[in-house]
């Protein structure tokens, strides 16, 4: 049986040499970072570059960064579904997978950062719900649950399809398809579940990054104690999330030859969203720093100058370049807004957003309020290795997912062809008076 969407099934049944080579390389990086982590547990956090007063480093930076990336998925796919954007159909699945994988990686980072990971269960045994860290534990767990369910439920019809085709791992697909047969009732139940989830997942996603910002803004430290941190972090998260989604889409389009599904128009629309988020991000950054400079509270100014002209100037201005200058220039002009251009802009945004997290976390710690010597933070090989390990887990996880499940929602694309077309026409009729003759 040759289906119309055979192209999407292909990666599940055919695996090339490139896949194995990449997997081995990634596994090697992961094994190396695991080795470094075991060393860290054995010798203590002394193997990292952290110290007093810079008590938090790469791990917390990467924690905020990875959780930020995870907002790509669920939030974007939920918003697009909710707003009935028809062009969402080939991209929702890809977005949701990013969330599930990156959230698992990001959620591990605070544990990596612990001095006593063996006492992790103290959080449950003697946890204090008054602590912002516990808010994080709560909201990240909720988000992980919601987003994996939200990834899984819309996947059921596609899993059923793979089950019906037979072949490898039939027992797994039979189990995961939950007896879905595509009857009217099944479809109705499925759609209702998706509708409930997509509404539920949006406030959870917003809460997650708000609460992460609270870790910083609930303290009295200058540079952190800011009321706009909640929305600022959420905006940054969606911003980096869209960029990560674009990178993944462009990569898989190339490797799996999905040009038929991921068309120029999808990149144009997402590129426009990225441009909007870039401008909103700049607006928040501008407000944050202008109020600090204008109010000129000495400790606040000390930290701002540390970022503007001090040791962190190179990171700060690279951040502005990567998050604002390059994406705005690339995405505003039709000439540059090609798929290559969008790819470059997305890459700079991901780098820029990582720098943003670095610029938020470290300078406030490096400049204590008292007249102590300024702190220096130089990450060691351990921290770099674990960073590389985290990224490798993401890539490998994504690759493996694409070998078991279709990364484009087949039934949704099909639904778009049949029902979506009609529905949109009717919808447009309902928007406007007398569009047709009747």
Partner 1 sequence: MPKWAMVIDLDKCTGCGACIAACKLENNIAIVAPAEAQNGRVMFWLDIISSYEGEYPAVKVNRIPKPCFHCDDPPCIKVCPVGATYKNEEGLVGQIYHRCIGCRYCMAACPYTSKVFNWEKPRWLDDTYSCFNPDVSLRMVGVVEKCSFCAHRLIKIKENAAQEKRAIRDGEYIPACMENCPADAIYFGDIDNKESVVHNLAHNFRAYRIMEDLGVEPKVYYLSKKF
Task: Please tell me the distance from the alpha carbon of residue 182 to that of residue 105, in angstroms, as a whole number.
Answer: 34
Token pair, residue 45, equals 């956090």
Question: What per-residue string of b and e applies to 321-354 under the rule 16 or more CB within 10 Å gives b?
Answer: ebbbebbbebbeeeebbebebbbebbbbbbbbbb
Shortest distance, CB of residue 111 to partner 1, whole angstroms? 9
Among 73, 90, 110, 236, interactor with partner 1 by CB under 8 A: 110
Q: Residue count at the site for partner 1 (CB under 8 A)?
A: 44
- Quick one: which of 199, 228, 216 has its CA closest to 61? 216
Among 24, 27, 35, 44, interactor with partner 1 by CB under 8 A: 44
Shortest distance, CB of residue 61 to partner 1, whole angstroms? 13
Shortest distance, CB of residue 369 to partner 1, whole angstroms? 5
Q: What is the separation of C-alpha 384 from the centre of its chain, rounded to a whole number of angstroms?
A: 20
Shortest distance, CB of residue 45 to partner 1, whole angstroms? 5
SS3 state of residue 84: coil
Task: Please tell me the distance from the alpha carbon of residue 415 to that of residue 349, in angstroms, as a whole number.
Answer: 33
- Within residues 136-155, the interface with partner 1 by CB under 8 A covers 137
Residue 330 binds partner 1 (CB under 8 A): no
Token pair, residue 366, equals 């490096």
Shortest distance, CB of residue 387 to partner 1, whole angstroms? 19
Q: CB-wise, 45 or 91, nearer to partner 1?
A: 45
Interacting span for partner 1 (CB under 8 A) from 129-137, 205-213, 240-248, 283-291:
129-137
Among 8, 12, 29, 54, interactor with partner 1 by CB under 8 A: 54
Task: Please tell me the distance from the alpha carbon of residue 8 to that of residue 256, in angstroms, as a whole number.
Answer: 8
Residue 303 binds partner 1 (CB under 8 A): no
Task: Please tell me the distance from the alpha carbon of residue 118 to that of residue 57, in angstroms, as a whole number.
Answer: 21
80 by Cβ neighbours in 10 Å (0-12 / 13-18 / 19+) ranks as buried
Residue 417 binds partner 1 (CB under 8 A): no
Shortest distance, CB of residue 113 to partner 1, whole angstroms? 7
Q: CB-wise, 118 or 184, nearer to partner 1?
A: 118
Interacting span for partner 1 (CB under 8 A) from 17-25, 109-117, 188-196, 274-282:
109-117
- Quick one: which of 369, 372, 324, 367 has its CA closest to 348? 324
Residue 295 binds partner 1 (CB under 8 A): no
Among 182, 310, 311, 375, interactor with partner 1 by CB under 8 A: 375
Token pair 């100058």 is found at 305
Given a contact cutoff of 8 angstroms between Cβ atoms, the answer to whether 62 and 421 are in contact is no
Shortest distance, CB of residue 219 to partner 1, whole angstroms? 4
Residue 21 binds partner 1 (CB under 8 A): no
- Quick one: which of 112, 115, 114 has its CA closest to 37? 112
Q: What is the separation of C-alpha 16 from the centre of its chain, rounded to a whole number of angstroms?
A: 28
Residue 311 binds partner 1 (CB under 8 A): no
Q: What is the separation of C-alpha 101 from the centre of its chain, rounded to a whole number of angstroms?
A: 9
Residue 296 binds partner 1 (CB under 8 A): no
Give the CA dihedral 124, 128, 132, 138, nearest 10 degrees: 40
Residue 44 Ramachandran class (φ > 0 left, ψ -120 to 50 alpha, else beta)? left
Q: CB-wise, 156 or 358, nearer to partner 1?
A: 358
Token pair, residue 426, equals 């009717």
Q: CB-wise, 17 or 128, nearer to partner 1?
A: 128
Residue 219 binds partner 1 (CB under 8 A): yes
Q: CB-wise, 132 or 420, nearer to partner 1?
A: 132
Which residues in this chain contact partner 1 in the complex, by CB under 8 A? Answer: 43-46, 50-56, 110, 113-117, 119-120, 122-123, 125-128, 130-134, 137, 215, 218-221, 365, 368-372, 375-376
């Amino acid at each position: 049986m040759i289906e119309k969407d055979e192209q999407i099934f292909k990666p599940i049944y055919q695996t090339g040499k490139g896949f194995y080579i990449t997997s081995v390389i990634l596994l090697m990086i992961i094994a190396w970072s695991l080795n470094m982590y075991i060393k860290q547990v054995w010798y203590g956090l002394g193997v990292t570059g952290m110290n007093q007063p810079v008590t938090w480093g790469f791990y917390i930076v990467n924690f905020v960064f990875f959780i930020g990336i995870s907002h790509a998925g669920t939030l974007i796919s939920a918003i697009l579904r909710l707003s009935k954007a028809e062009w969402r159909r080939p991209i929702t699945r890809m977005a949701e997978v990013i969330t599930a994988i990156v959230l698992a990686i990001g959620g591990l980072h605070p544990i990596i950062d612990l001095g006593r990971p063996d006492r992790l269960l103290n959080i449950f045994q003697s946890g204090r719900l008054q602590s912002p860290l516990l808010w994080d534990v709560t909201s990240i767990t909720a988000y992980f649950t919601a987003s994996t369910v939200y990834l899984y439920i819309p996947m059921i019809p596609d899993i059923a399809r793979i089950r019906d085709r037979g072949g490898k791992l039939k027992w797994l697909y039979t189990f995961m398809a939950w007896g879905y047969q595509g009857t009217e009732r099944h479809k109705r139940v499925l759609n209702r579940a998706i509708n409930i989830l997509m509404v539920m997942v949006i406030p959870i996603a917003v809460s997650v990054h708000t609460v992460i910002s609270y870790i910083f803004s609930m303290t009295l430290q200058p540079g952190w104690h800011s009321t706009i941190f909640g929305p600022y972090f959420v905006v940054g998260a969606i911003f980096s999330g869209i960029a990560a989604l674009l990178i993944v889409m462009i990569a898989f389009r190339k490797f799996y030859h999905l040009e038929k599904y991921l068309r120029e128009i999808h990149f144009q629309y997402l590129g426009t969203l990225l441009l909007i988020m870039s401008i909103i991000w700049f607006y928040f950054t501008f407000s944050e720093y202008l109020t600090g400079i204008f109010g000129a509270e000495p400790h606040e100014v000390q930290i701002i100058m540390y970022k503007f002209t001090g040791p962190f100037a190179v990171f700060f201005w690279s951040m502005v370049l990567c998050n604002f200058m390059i994406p705005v220039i690339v995405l505003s002009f039709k000439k540059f807004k090609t798929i290559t251009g969008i790819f470059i802009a997305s890459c700079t945004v991901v780098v820029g957003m990582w720098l943003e997290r670095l610029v938020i976390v470290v300078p406030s710690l490096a400049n204590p309020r008292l007249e102590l010597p300024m702190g220096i933070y130089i990450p060691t090989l351990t921290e770099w290795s674990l960073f590389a390990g985290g990224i490798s887990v993401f890539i490998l996880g994504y690759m493996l997912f694409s070998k078991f499940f279709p990364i484009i929602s087949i039934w949704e694309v099909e639904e778009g062809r049949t029902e979506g077309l009609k529905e949109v026409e009717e919808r447009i009729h309902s928007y406007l008076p007398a569009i047709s003759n009747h």
